[in-house]
Amino acid sequence: MLAALGAGLLAAACSPDRLTEAEKAQVAALSLDALRPLPADPTNRVADDPDAAALGAALFFDTGMSPGGAVSCATCHKADRQFQDDLPRGEGIGTTDRRTMPVAGAAYSPFLFWDGRADSLWAQALQPLEDAREHGGTRTFYAHAIAARYRGDYERVFGPLPVLGGLPVSAGPLGDAAERAAWEAMSPQQRHAVNRVFANIGKALAAYERTLMPAQTRFDRFARALLEEREPDEADRFSDLEMEGLKLFLGSANCIDCHNGPRFTDEHFHNTAVPQAAGAAPDRGRAQAVPLVLADPFNCAGPYSDAPDRCDELRFMVRDGHELERAFKTPTLRGAASRAPYMHAGQIATLGDVIVHYAAARPGPDGHTELARIRLTERGKAALVAFLKTLDAE
């Protein structure tokens, strides 16, 4: 009798009935069940081609896509770690300036990277290939690699490869001095042909990455029960602490202002006064990325896009203003509880420390923050952490 009474009290304590109708609607909007179909990418005509995705998957895990044979996309985007690497800053051949972002669901983002310097998933995939700290390759190196190991798979998706005989083994506009000189010595027609192959590598990688979706979590099962107006299964019920954290998240903690929608991100860029990473050069975030995305030959409006006339995001993006200074992309909170350290360069060690940082709302390195100070008790901080843990895949 006492055991049954105790179970009943527990169920009442964490019951969805403790949420208001407005809060229930917010929970439903955060659920993966509310995730809209994946948007088409007209700039990549093979975005949803299974053969392109299969080629992209092979390239993603191939360390041969680096001159030293030691680095693949999966070096930093580890499949068993939410396609990220748990490091403060990504490490390929060398160490980068920022954290590796998880890939699942990234195809929903109009701009990629922490600063949004790429405007499509395929344009994003190309940049690490040429970065000397990541893969460290050049455009002719990748074209030769495709011809040597993936010719049939490539031509099945994109058609015949150009003639590559006589082209430098390693040449590109972002290589070392010799590789840049070799690139300039090539004819414009040769550079264009190699660029087309390089762009297609990005498009195949993007086709694979579009298949990577966020995993269902306990929060999603709880939200589904809420929508179906039933009690969650015992394993999916929220504790008192988790329920308090959810209500804070939706309410006075202001988390949902930026971490909204089924991916728990507004996909925008914000200055949240994150401290400068120790020993790193000043990072202006979105402010320094705008000219980069506009100048990128692989952007939506460029010659390698399959729909250069369909670039509203690029055309209408905010290009200047103080709000871009030190503004970084809102990351998804799905899986964040097990993805320490935090922020764009791993500046904050724990989730609890992140909550303290946001509650304090101190001015950042440029004297600015978008945050508003909030008062949280120690239990409130613990409650938010407890709720965020329900967003981890199990």
pLDDT tens-place string over residues 118-137: 999 999 999 999 999 999 99
How far apart are the C-alpha atoms of 149 and 136, rounded to whole Å? 19
DSSP string for 25-75: HHHHHHSGGGPPPPPP-TT-TTTT-HHHHHHHHHHHT-TTSSTTS---HHH
What pLDDT is recorded for position 6? 37
Neighbours of 159 (CB within 10 A): 8
Structure tokens at 217: 């979590």
What pLDDT is recorded for position 18? 84
Residues 6+ apart with CB under 8 A from 78: 84, 85
Neighbours of 370 (CB within 10 A): 14
Locate the DSSP E strands across 309-354: 328-329
**Polymer length in residues for the chain:** 394
Structure tokens at 369: 């923050």
Residues 6+ apart with CB under 8 A from 281: 97
What pLDDT is recorded for position 15? 57
- What percent helix, strand, coil does the chain show, rounded to 5? 45, 5, 50
CATH topology of domain 50-209: Cytochrome Bc1 Complex; Chain D, domain 2 (1.10.760)
Q: Which amino acid is at 72?
A: S
Q: Which amino acid is at 314?
A: L
Helix (H), strand (E) at residue 269: strand 269-270
How far apart are the C-alpha atoms of 165 and 297, rounded to whole Å? 25
Mean pLDDT of the chain: 94
Residue with tokens 């590598």: 201
What pLDDT is recorded for position 9? 34
User: How does pLDDT run across 13-50, given as a tens digit for each residue?
Assistant: 455 568 999 999 999 999 999 999 999 999 999 999 99
- Top CATH class, 2-30+215-261+264-284+326-389: mainly alpha
Q: Could you give the residue ranges of the DSSP H alpha helices within 210-311?
A: 218-227, 240-250, 286-295
Is the separation of the CB atoms in 119 and 50 below 8 Å? no
Q: What three-state secondary structure class fits 218?
A: helix
Max CA pair span of the chain: 87
Under-50 pLDDT residues of the chain? 1-13
Is the separation of the CB atoms in 265 and 332 below 8 Å? yes
Residue 198's nearest CA partner among 222, 165, 173, 223 is: 173
Domains of the chain, by residue range, sit at 2-30+215-261+264-284+326-389, 50-209
